[in-house]
Structure formats: structure tokens, C-alpha cells
Amino acid sequence: MITIRSAQDRGIANFGWLDSHHTFSFGNYYDPNYMGFAALRVINEDKVTPGQGFGTHAHRDMEIISYVLEGALEHKDSIGTGSVIRPSDVQRMSAGTGIQHSEFNASSTEPVHFLQIWILPEQNGIQPGYEQKTFAETEKRDTLLLIGSRDGRDGSITIHQDVNLYATALQEGDKVSHPVAEGRVAWLQVVRGAVQVNELTLTAGDGAAIAQEAQITLQGASNDSEVLLFDLAA
């Protein structure tokens, strides 16, 4: 069963400096039907104007992943991390027992466009931590590249949850497939372009909850499509 979460049905928060679209309930946007999916709690598509951003604020007991599509995002936190992430970079911050951080557009002239993803950890109260890795666009071509996992295997970032996070970049007509093991589900998020998912067409910003499907087949329905696939314990 595949249930599409249309981009146009997402929650919206626009503060001028920030244009944010919420796949799941977040902030002032509340939909009891979209409180998350398995351990996946937040997918926000954010666009931040030049020189603006999120001032220092606190988190705890959450795995927070940033995935930049365009521009540059500057990160600083209370455990001493300072970095700038750009397209092809993936950042994971484990809030654990508590962490404070800020995120700003690193450019004074260009906007930054990124996905902010929250995943509930398997265990509360872990030590706060940070990790950042780069996955070249060519590595994602015509394959499902593992970019995040519980054990950090194959060079992926480590996520403190039973989740495998894949990224793929497809040209029109290109196909990739992924088996869904018994007892697991999947969430698909279209980052850009358009794809067919088991014959259903999704476009940028669309998501899909996938359950009771033995296999997922993705086919590029436009050039330069990009997709994230979360394989999760049900």
C-alpha cells in the first residue's frame, strides 16, 4: 500500500525570512493524521533568505539531519561544532541529553534551501554528538546510496535508530529498486524532479508512506530527479 502525501497539502509557515513546508505536524501546524511515520517525526523543506536564520535554541532526545539542496547552511552548537554544509553534504546532530545550536544562511546574497529531518532515537539520554559527511552527486546516480544507518556502515552517517536512509539521483527512464523486508516500512520523499513509484507519479515535495509492499521500484519521470528513501522498523 502506498499513500501519497502531496506537497500542496503540507503545512506552511512563512515568516518572510523563512518559507517552510511541513510534511508532518510541526510548530503551529497540527494535523492529527500526520504526526510522523514510524520513527520519522519531521521533514521540513526550508528556504532561508540571505543572512538570516535560526538563532540559538535547544533540543534534546532527537536525531536531527540536515540535507542541503542549494546554497550554504552555517551550523554552530554548544558542543563546540562549527561548520558550513552545502549540496552533497549530510549533517547529523544527536541532541541527546541536551544541545543548543543555531543555523544560518552562510551567504549574504544567495538563499539556502534545505531539508530538516527529525528522527526519534532508539534511546533517550545519549551523549550529544555531531557528524557531517559528503556524498558526491555521481555516487547517487542510478543507485540507492546508503547515506545514513544505525551502524554507520559503508561510510554512511550514524543515526541512533533502526533506520536506513538512502539517496538516489535519476535521469528520465532510469530505474532503481529496493526490497522492503517483513516488519519494515518505508517513507519516500521527492527532493526534486519527478519519479514514478510502483506506477504512481510523485513530484518535488511529495512524500509517500509505503507499507505491505515487498519491493519499491523508482523510475525517473524527469531529468535530474532526486529522492530520499527511509527504510524503517514498522
199 occurs within a structural domain: yes
- What is the domain range of residue 156? 138-233
Q: What is the pLDDT of residues 28-62, one digit of tens each?
A: 999 999 999 999 999 999 999 999 999 999 999 99
Question: Rounded CA gap, 23 and 29, in Å?
Answer: 10
Average pLDDT, the chain: 96
Cell of residue 87, nine digits:
549540496
61 occurs within a structural domain: yes
88 occurs within a structural domain: yes
Q: What is the pLDDT of residues 91-116, one digit of tens each?
A: 999 999 999 999 999 999 999 999 99
What is the side-by-side order of every strand in the sheet holding 129-134? 11-14, 18-22, 40-48, 112-119, 63-70, 89-94, 129-134
Specify the pLDDT at position 164. Answer: 98
Alpha helices in 70-229 (DSSP H): 137-140
Pair 109, 157 in one domain: no
Q: How many domains does the chain have?
A: 2
Specify the pLDDT at position 199. Answer: 84
Q: Which bin fits 214, alpha (ψ -120 to 50), beta or left (φ > 0)? A: alpha
Q: pLDDT-derived band of residue 21, with 50, 70 and 90 as boundaries?
A: very high
Among 93, 120, 135, identify where a domain stops: 135
Cα-Cα-Cα-Cα dihedral of 141, 171, 91, 133, to 10°?
20
Pair 68, 22 in one domain: yes
Specify the pLDDT at position 136. Answer: 92
Among 94, 109, 135, identify where a domain stops: 135
Mean pLDDT of all residues in 199-217: 96
The pLDDT > 70 percentage for the chain reads: 100
Q: Which bin fits 188, alpha (ψ -120 to 50), beta or left (φ > 0)? A: beta
The pLDDT > 90 percentage for the chain reads: 98
Mean pLDDT of all residues in 117-141: 96
Between vectors from CA 133 to CA 45 and to CA 217, what angle results, nearest 5°? 60
* pTM assigned to the model: 0.96
Residue in this structure with the C-alpha cell 539520554, named with its chain if needed: 125
CA 36 centroid distance within chain? 13
Among 101, 117, 135, identify where a domain stops: 135
Pair 26, 123 in one domain: yes
**Which candidate, 219, 228, 182, 225, places its Cα nearest to that of 197?**
219
Specify the pLDDT at position 190. Answer: 98
Q: What is the pLDDT of residues 150-202, one digit of tens each?
A: 999 999 999 999 999 999 999 999 999 999 999 999 999 999 999 999 989 99
Kindly report the CATH number assigned to the domain that includes residue 86.
2.60.120.10
Given a contact cutoff of 8 angstroms between Cβ atoms, the answer to whether 166 and 145 are in contact is yes
Specify the pLDDT at position 168. Answer: 98
